[in-house]
Amino acid sequence: MREFLTGARMLLRGLGQWRRSPGAMALGLIPGFVVGLVFAAALVGWGFLLGEVVDDWTPFANDWDPLWATVLRTAIAVASFGAVAFLAIVSFTAVTLTVGEPFYDRIWRATERTATGRVPDAEYGFWRAAGDAVRLIARG
């Protein structure tokens, strides 16, 4: 029970950081917003290209009855769009963390400076962040 209460106190202290430093906290929203826009644009672009791509994937269906060709192409288009959307959902967090690492580092430094008066010297480099992103994607 003591650990739960300690966690609740830490949560309240963290929420207090929003009040003390709203600019730093809002800075953390930028990477997610940017990656979300890029992923949404990619999904919209894939949706627009999907008809032509599926036609290129299924030239053998040109000689079929139009109903069955349409059923097959629609099923392939839905499955393909679903797969791309699933990939976007699964990789969103890892990509956001990779893109946002400099932002989150700045927030971390500001929070440490506010909480303890100093910033630890440990560096968290690009390659370590990239490795973490790859591990997150691999986990799904």
pLDDT tens per residue across span 89-107 = 999 999 999 999 888 888 8
Residues of the chain with pLDDT below 50 are: none
42 in any annotated domain: yes
Range of the domain at 119: 22-139
Q: What is the domain count for the chain?
A: 1
123 in any annotated domain: yes
97 in any annotated domain: yes
33 in any annotated domain: yes
pLDDT of residue 20: 79
13 in any annotated domain: no
Query: How open is the CA angle 23-94-34, to the nearest 5 degrees?
Result: 45
pLDDT of residue 126: 77
Cβ proximity of 77 and 50 under 8 Å: yes
119 in any annotated domain: yes
114 in any annotated domain: yes
**pTM of the entire structure?**
0.69
62 in any annotated domain: yes
How far is residue 32's CA from residue 97's CA, in Å, rounded to a whole number?
A: 8
pLDDT of residue 123: 66
How far is residue 23's CA from residue 67's CA, in Å, rounded to a whole number?
A: 57
pLDDT of residue 118: 74
pLDDT of residue 124: 66
pLDDT of residue 136: 83
pLDDT of residue 18: 77
Query: Which CB contacts under 8 angstroms, 24+ apart, belong to 28-34?
Result: 28/100, 28/103, 28/104, 28/107, 30/100, 30/103, 31/96, 31/97, 31/99, 31/100, 31/103, 31/104, 32/96, 32/100, 34/99
